[in-house]
């Protein structure tokens, strides 16, 4: 989802400025945490089903689904992982991704022709709706990503929330798409059918259904200090390549406690709403498609963002509830 959002918003940002770039060279948040905080993080992650691992298989009646938790951003450490996942994907009858290059092209075409789909065209802009301190922080964060404040004031808050969740050092277009693009290109080259799990405009639907006041709360909480944001981003990458996905999910809650000046109760409520919209609701929409594909093919490969797999409402638990036997591959 982050890759989709950054690519979409870069179409708009490119109208006015070239994004500034800084190296993501801050220490990761894990290295700055106390021993007690790290112990608590591990304990929180231990409560999350299927929290360790990024590659799983589900079997039922001679049919097999291979599920890979991906990262939508480029990283040189993904080379070896790509080689392994491509080997596992080999021989699949079908490969499912959140969104394929076909949907991405449609998104670019429509949003380039109709940028107003991502803008607030009626009523007061964000500068008028936010207090002066929050607007100043938002203006600085937008400028750091090459988005003029006057333009950001008219962007739908949800889009800004997701854009600001990545540090300014991230390439404005999200890079090359990371593992997802490489895997779908390999699948196409091998003659494996590639399909999307959802339409290209899913994010627009989520935005349209969002509560206005909740959007503003999310926007306020997304304005973390730049150093904290880079540390959290780097910690997420470290945990991903260590295959500790449950800790990534737990870190979201724990980092709210570590952020200065944040109302913890409000932060947890906002995080829960974001997870409902971006993770759990989409998981529920995907599961019928994944199960139908699994039942129709001998071997189905599924690659989605790693956070979609674990948890009580994750894709793996959903397959388990549908009678599939879920295990890590040997």
Hey, where are the domains in the chain?
2-327
Count CB-CB contacts under 10 A for residue 240: 23
User: How far is 129 from 287, CA to CA, in rounded Å?
Assistant: 38
pLDDT score of 1 more than 70: no
Q: What is the pLDDT of residues 174-230, one digit of tens each?
A: 555 579 999 999 999 999 999 999 999 998 888 788 788 878 888 888 887 778 888
Q: Return the higher-pLDDT residue of 108 and 74.
A: 108
Q: Return the higher-pLDDT residue of 171 and 90.
A: 90
Q: What is the pLDDT of residues 214-264, one digit of tens each?
A: 788 888 888 877 788 888 888 998 999 999 999 999 998 788 777 766 777
What are φ and ψ of residue 118, in 5° steps? -110, 10
Give the containing element (helix H, strand E) for 94. strand 94-97
Comparing 64-73, 222-231, 236-245, 308-317, the range with the smallest average pLDDT is 222-231
pLDDT recorded at residue 273: 85
Tell me the whole-structure pTM to 2 decimals: 0.88
The CA–CA distances, whole Å, from 206 to 42, 74, 110, 209 equal 32, 25, 17, 5
Residue with tokens 């549908």: 322
Quick one: pLDDT band at residue 24, thresholds 50, 70, 90? low
pLDDT score of 20 more than 50: no
Contact 209, 282 (CB under 8 A): no
Identity of the highest mean pLDDT range in 102-116, 154-168, 221-235, 281-295? 281-295
Residue 286 in tokens: 């995907």
Query: Left if phi > 0, otherwise alpha if psi is -120 to 50, otherwise beta: which for 192?
Result: beta
Instruction: Tell me what the mean pLDDT of segment 276-280 comes to.
Output: 91
Residue among 178, 171, 136, 159 nearest 20 (CA): 171
Q: What is the pLDDT of residues 75-130, one digit of tens each?
A: 888 999 999 999 999 999 999 999 999 998 998 899 889 888 888 888 899 999 99
Residue with tokens 């969740």: 165
User: How far is 86 from 239, CA to CA, in rounded Å?
Assistant: 21
The CA–CA distances, whole Å, from 263 to 36, 44, 67, 90 equal 22, 20, 37, 48
Three-class SS string for 118-174?
HECCCCCCHHHHCCHHHHHHHHHHHHHCCCCHHHHCCECHHHHHHHHCCCCCCCCCC
Counting residues of the chain whose pLDDT is more than 90, the rounded percentage is 53
Residue 304 in tokens: 């989605």
């Amino acid at each position: 989802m982050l890759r989709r959002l950054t690519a979409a918003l870069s179409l708009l940002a490119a109208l006015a400025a070239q994004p500034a770039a800084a190296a993501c060279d801050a220490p990761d948040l894990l290295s700055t945490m106390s021993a007690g905080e790290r112990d608590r993080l591990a304990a929180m992650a231990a409560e999350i089903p299927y929290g360790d691992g990024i590659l799983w298989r589900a079997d039922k009646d001679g049919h097999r689904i291979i599920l890979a938790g991906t990262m939508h951003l480029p990283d040189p450490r993904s080379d070896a992982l790509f080689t392994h996942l491509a080997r596992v994907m080999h021989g699949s009858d079908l490969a499912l991704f959140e969104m394929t290059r076909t949907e991405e092209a449609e998104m670019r075409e429509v949003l380039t022709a109709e940028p107003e789909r991502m803008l607030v065209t009626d009523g007061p802009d964000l500068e008028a709706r936010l207090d002066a301190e929050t607007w100043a922080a938002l203006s600085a964060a937008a400028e750091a990503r090459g988005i003029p404040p006057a333009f950001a004031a008219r962007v739908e808050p949800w889009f800004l929330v997701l854009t600001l969740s990545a540090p300014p050092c991230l390439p404005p277009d999200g890079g090359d798409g990371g593992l997802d693009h490489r895997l779908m290109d390999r699948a196409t080259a091998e003659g494996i059918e590639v399909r999307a799990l959802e339409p290209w405009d899913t994010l627009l639907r989520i935005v349209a259904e969002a509560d206005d006041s909740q959007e503003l709360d999310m926007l306020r909480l997304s304005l973390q200090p730049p150093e904290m944001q880079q540390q959290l981003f780097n910690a997420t990458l470290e945990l991903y390549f260590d295959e500790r996905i449950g800790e990534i999910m737990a870190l979201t809650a724990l980092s709210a406690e570590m952020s200065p000046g944040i109302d913890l109760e409000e932060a947890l409520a906002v995080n829960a709403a974001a997870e409902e919209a971006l993770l759990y609701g989409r998981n529920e929409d995907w599961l019928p498609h994944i199960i139908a594909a699994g039942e129709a093919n001998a071997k189905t490969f599924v690659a989605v963002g790693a956070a979609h797999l674990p948890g009580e409402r994750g894709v793996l638990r959903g397959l388990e509830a549908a009678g599939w036997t879920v295990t890590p591959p040997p």
